Amino acid sequence: MRYFNLLNNQHVFLYIFPTLVFIVLLGLALGFTHFSRKNSEDRMLRINRKFPEGIEDRDAPFPLVLILIIIGTFIWGFCYILGHGLMGVKI
């Protein structure tokens, strides 16, 4: 049992909040998949390689939602470590 019950609540919020943000970003990703450029449509349709069993390789643009999730993960990790350090709690 922890000495402070508030610490349990903080950990629950730190687990639930990134999950909810991820769900919202995934929902937005269904509408906006990538940055559009002049050759984006061509890159989505052009097949670079064909593998057995009908697998095709394309040089499609990198999805915008994955960029946001990766950046958000690093920001959350940095803020998590910084927050624990400022509160004086050992990780």
Q: How many domains does the chain have?
A: 1
Residue 60 tokens, joined: 């499609």
Residue-by-residue DSSP string for the chain: --S-HHHHHHHHHHHHHHHHHHHHHHHHHTT--S---TTHHHHHH-EEEEEGGGEEEE-PPPPHHHHHHHHHHHHHHHHHHHHHHHHT---
Do 30 and 16 contact (CB within 8 A), yes or no? no
User: Which tokens is 15 given?
Assistant: 């687990």
pLDDT for res 2: 63
Low pLDDT (below 70) residues in the chain: 1-2, 4-6, 30-35, 89-91
- Euclidean distance between CA atoms 61 and 23, whole angstroms: 22
Please give the structure tokens belonging to residue 32: 């906006």
Q: Could you give phi then psi for residue 4, rounded to 5 degrees?
A: -115, 120
Task: Output the pTM of the full model.
Answer: 0.47
**Residue range of the domain that includes 38:** 5-87
